[in-house]
């Protein structure tokens, strides 16, 4: 019994770390551009397909293929912002939201046209031996996922708090107009945010695909939405909140799948979102905003 609970917790931690990586992208973009980038989940899908192209079609070694994935996703993220979101900076939020949904749909349908809806099997590129702690088995991919996520989170926190580019990001998210007046290049900061967020999504995509080993054009949608739930849970706009929310969501999901019902696990996850938003609309670590009249 204890072993099974431990295993579920570790599973949850692994899925949760992936959610946290994706949630970071949502939260950073929301902080800077004040919009929900609906297409963020589909960047994961693009990342997964890029890795597949790199490894299976171009026969690249693992590391260059991963690098290619990160670069492609970053460039794509920046392009999406430039083409679709930048013209709408002054538009009503509803218009931006609909555009983002359109962008998500666009990426999915392009993938559908190129790769068709038949799932493509994909063998994990992460070949690390699992370990045995007492009676609990920890798979190699879990170890890698946890290690990679920890490194990224520490790195990102340092980047945001200790570097000049990071403080520019914080400034733009606080007050775009004032940041511009202080000589910060707002366009470049926004581009950079999209690039970093998309690179994180690429990493998440690699880890996700090595876990599930099957490619579909819609594979990014569900983890995307769940990561969004995680970002909201933690308080959107808050970086530590995204990490906390991701891990919590992973644990909730894994435990409800194991002990309540597989079919209802998604419903439970979304139920958590609804409850959190109703009880604490700004999330666990989010700041409350006052509307000025």
Which stretches of the chain bind other proteins, using CB under 8 A?
A: 35-36, 84, 87-88, 90-99, 101-103, 105-106, 108-110, 112-113, 116-117, 221, 225, 228-229, 232, 261, 263-264, 266-267, 270-271, 273-274, 277-278, 281, 290-291, 293
CB of residue 140 to other proteins, shortest distance in Å: 32
For residues 181 and 293, which CB has a smaller minimum distance to other proteins in the complex? 293
For residues 168 and 269, which CB has a smaller minimum distance to other proteins in the complex? 269
CB of residue 289 to other proteins, shortest distance in Å: 11
CB of residue 2 to other proteins, shortest distance in Å: 29
CB of residue 115 to other proteins, shortest distance in Å: 10
For residues 199 and 230, which CB has a smaller minimum distance to other proteins in the complex? 230
For residues 96 and 196, which CB has a smaller minimum distance to other proteins in the complex? 96
CB of residue 103 to other proteins, shortest distance in Å: 6
CB of residue 288 to other proteins, shortest distance in Å: 10
Three state DSSP letters for the chain: CHHHHHHHHHHHHHHHHHHHHHHHHHHHHHHHHCCCCCCHHHHHHHHHHHHHHHHHHCCCCHHHHHHHHHHHHHHHHHHHHHHHHHHHCCCCHHHHHHHHHHHHHHHHHHHHHHHCCCCEECCCCCCCCCEEECCEEECHHHHHHHHHHHHHHHHHHHHHHHCHHHHHHHHHHHCHHHHHHCCCCHHHHHHHHHHHHHHHHHHHHHHHHHHHCEECCCCCHHHHHHHHHHHHHHCCCCHHHHHHHHHHHHHHHHHHHHHCCCCCHHHHHHHHHHHHHHHCCCCCCCCCCCCCC
For residues 58 and 95, which CB has a smaller minimum distance to other proteins in the complex? 95
For residues 170 and 280, which CB has a smaller minimum distance to other proteins in the complex? 280
């Amino acid at each position: 019994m204890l072993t099974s609970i431990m295993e579920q917790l570790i599973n949850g931690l692994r899925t949760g770390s992936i959610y946290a990586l994706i949630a970071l992208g949502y939260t950073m973009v929301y902080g800077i551009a004040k919009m929900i980038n609906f297409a963020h989940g589909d960047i994961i899908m693009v990342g997964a397909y890029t890795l597949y192209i790199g490894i299976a079609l171009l026969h690249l070694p693992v590391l260059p293929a991963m690098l290619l994935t990160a670069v492609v996703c970053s460039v794509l993220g920046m392009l999406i912002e430039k083409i679709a979101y930048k013209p709408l900076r002054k538009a009503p939020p509803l218009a931006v939201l609909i555009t983002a949904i359109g962008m998500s749909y666009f990426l999915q349908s392009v993938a559908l046209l190129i790769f068709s809806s038949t799932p493509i099997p994909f063998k994990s590129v992460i070949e690390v031996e699992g370990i045995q702690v007492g009676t609990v088995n920890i798979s190699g991919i879990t170890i890698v996922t946890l290690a990679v996520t920890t490194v990224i989170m520490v790195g990102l926190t340092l980047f945001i708090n200790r570097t000049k580019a990071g403080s520019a990001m914080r400034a733009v998210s606080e007050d775009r107009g004032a940041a511009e007046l202080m000589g910060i290049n707002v366009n470049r900061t926004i581009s950079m945010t999209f690039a970093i967020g998309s690179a994180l999504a690429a990493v998440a995509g690699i880890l996700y695909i090595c876990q599930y080993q099957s490619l579909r054009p819609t594979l990014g949608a569900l983890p995307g939405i769940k990561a969004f739930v995680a970002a909201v849970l933690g308080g959107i706009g808050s970086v530590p909140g995204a990490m906390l929310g991701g891990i919590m969501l992973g644990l909730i999901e894994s435990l409800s799948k194991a002990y309540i019902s597989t079919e209802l696990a998604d419903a439970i996850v979304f139920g958590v979102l609804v409850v959190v938003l109703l009880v604490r609309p700004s999330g666990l670590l989010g700041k409350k905003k006052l509307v000025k009249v």
